[in-house]
Amino acid sequence: MTQADPLANLGIRQTASGGELRVWSEHATHIDLCLFDNKDSKWIFKTVSLVRDANNVWYGKTKSLAPGRKYALKVSGPDGPMNAFDPTLLLLDPYARGLTRTGPDTWRGVVIDDSFNWNGVTKPNTALDHTVIYEGHVKGLSKLNTRMPEHLRGTYAGLAHETTIGYLQKLGVTAVQLLPVHAFVSERRLMKQGLSNYWGYNTLNFFSPQNFYATREAQAEGPSGVLREFKGMVKLLHEAGLEVILDVVYNHTAEEGRMGPTTSFRGIDNANYYRQTRNGNYIDVTGCGNSVNTSVPAVSRLILDSLKYWANDVQVDGFRFDLAATLGRNADHSFDPGHPLIQGIVNDPDLKGVKMIAEPWDVGMGGWQTDNFPPGWQEWNDRYRDRMRKFWLRDIRSIRENGSPGDGVGMLATRLAGSSNTFSPARGPLASVNFITAHDGFTMADLTAYDVKHNVGNGESNRDGTDNNMSYNHGVEGATPNRAIEASRRRTIRNLMGTLLLSAGTPMITAGDEFGRSQKGNNNAYCHDSELTWLSWDRRKWQNGLWQTTQHLLKLRRENPALRPVRFGVFGETTPSASQMDWYDGGGNSMSVYEWNSAENRTLQFLAASTPEHEPFNRILVVIHGIESPTTVILPHHEGVTQYALLWDSSFDSPPSLEAPADIRMPGGEYDVAASSLQLFRAD
């Protein structure tokens, strides 16, 4: 401990005279460290009474606190509506880096051996403009992969297996964003229904990796073995040039509501760890029973320390923060972009270069905070998601049913160009994490096959999951033998994927969307640990075509810097690493005010030219046609452009062959555009 940093070194540290434990609690009156026999996790063979310092840090030291030792805390304190002390309970150290289960709601911390040889492997440090995120689940990614040994399937080691890594490299993504891997448990109500929390958004501890994602061999070694397997996964992914981003849940914990299980925070200092009224009622802005109280400095420090541990000791490359608005709520429970934690996450020198992505909302008052996070943060862009779904799905449905789409191309253009009407020039287009789908909601294929959710299997009578899917089943709900409908659905998937990967911003693909994975209309499959949610590695011909299309689009994105600007361009100025955007109608003329605002104008061309800073000059043309009837566009005349080379057309089931001669068109020439489709040209 230093005078400048009274909360330093919380948790366990090994010293020359034994292991030292430091725990923070303002309201406790007595804390015992309980040490358990190595063979009997219920036998307390030694108790150490912790001493309190002036900063409410309780500490104690013993040589028995060595790697492999199981331990827990007993905490006493005053009664009162905001407290929940019970000295009979055995509680987890909030900073425990290993843990083991001993009963339905009882756990032990485990002192770990964190030694690991990285052999010089370092983080890829992929630039944001080259970053493509692939959101997936540790188990789901490899559970059905018969190309690897069975004992590795669905594990950390399975994710790091050469077949998984080879798949990701061949596809062309740069980062794997994993659904929660912090130690978690299933909610009591799910267990009563015979279900489980597959996604993992119910965190038990912020420092320990989930043990059952490790192989049986690693689990048999204990928490130290689990951690080594996790680090080994990170190391192998890094060797392959792939970054690891963790989806982290710091907004609430698995202790649920006030009557939920008391496993750690509640029993150590309920009044500080959780937001509540003076009469002890929890202020729940997460919808999960409790909300972590980040207005308390020691609680914010816990989260920062957890991030530093994963980023530095475990070498993780970035974090996606579930319900990040909760983390920025101050003492009166209002969101504040200047909150010390929100600022600290992107400004702490120990987290320099780490990617920080906010899910910028929660379910409390004033919970929607898109674009209210400070520079350094990226944000999930729900406005982008909704606009793209509307243009390619809801508007097409409206045209079929009413003869009018409701909207033209005007509101689409800004999203394609990086959402400058949402994110400030200081943050730029890369602040926007663009996505069409995520783990939560319909898959991309299901967006095209279902008008309504089908969540009966979740045990809540189809009440859970959003009703605002902005989907379109193209005329039939669910699977159909109708080839015309199937063809329309697949073209729409290609349009959605193409728009995502040709837009300015940081794209995120949901695992399985690259080959048309379905969850049979379930848009909230959090409680299904089954083939419904696992990725299939056996695919049909059309799925292989879609996979090749996604791979081709990612290659085009890498090769054309005009598609991935770092900064917003300014009219009349030359801005390094921006893209100069010129907009044209279907006739090749500059867009008029009428055409921007007309609901009937559903055809748009934009020409983007890069402003070289680190890569060669590049210029592309994108054609977007959002009506289910073909048309002919006139490719625009533009200074310096002598020809257009077709790189991709979404009307084709598969991408063009590398051996095929390029389709070259001249400025002012015609191009026949298929119904409801998207084209990319290189402008030479």
Which of the residues are catalytic? 322, 359
How far is C-alpha 680 from the chain's CA centre?
28
Nearest to 302 by CA among 53, 90, 2, 8: 8
Nearest to 250 by CA among 283, 207, 209, 282: 207
What is d(CA 267, CA 275) in angstroms, rounded to the nearest whole number?
15
Nearest to 667 by CA among 622, 633, 637: 637
What is d(CA 68, CA 124) in angstroms, rounded to the nearest whole number?
33
What is d(CA 236, CA 365) in angstroms, rounded to the nearest whole number?
43
Nearest to 560 by CA among 494, 616, 496: 616
Helix 483-502 with 382-389: angle, nearest 10 deg = 150
Answer for the pair 621, 681: CB distance below 8 angstroms, yes or no: yes
**Look-up of token digits 């005078």:** 3
Angle at 115 between CA 113 and CA 119, to 5 degrees: 160
What is d(CA 42, CA 456) in angstroms, rounded to the nearest whole number?
41
What is d(CA 172, CA 169) in angstroms, rounded to the nearest whole number?
5
State the number of CA atoms in the 13 A half-sphere of 589 facing the CB: 7
What phi and psi, each to the nearest 5 degrees, are found at residue 509? -100, 135
**How is the beta sheet containing 664-665 ordered, strand by strand?**
579-584, 603-610, 619-625, 677-683, 644-649, 664-665
What phi and psi, each to the nearest 5 degrees, are found at residue 584? -135, 155
Beta bridge partner(s), residue 136:
178
Which residues are CB-neighbours of 472 under 8 A, at least 6 positions away? 393, 394, 396, 397, 447, 448, 451, 492
**Measured between alpha carbons, how far is residue 471 from residues 84, 260, 394, 395 in Å?**
46, 37, 6, 10
What is d(CA 211, CA 222) in angstroms, rounded to the nearest whole number?
8
What is the dihedral sign for C-alpha 593, 596, 600, 601?
Answer: positive
Please tell me whether residue 513 adopts helix, strand or coil conformation: helix
Answer for the pair 394, 385: CB distance below 8 angstroms, yes or no: no
**Look-up of token digits 């287009």:** 429
Which residues are CB-neighbours of 39 under 8 A, at least 6 positions away? none
**How is the beta sheet containing 51-52 ordered, strand by strand?**
11-15, 18-24, 57-62, 51-52
**How many helices (H) and strands (E) are present in the chain, helices listed first?**
16, 25
Nearest to 440 by CA among 368, 523, 514, 527: 523
What is the dihedral sign for C-alpha 565, 566, 568, 574?
Answer: negative
Answer for the pair 70, 110: CB distance below 8 angstroms, yes or no: yes
What is d(CA 385, CA 390) in angstroms, rounded to the nearest whole number?
9
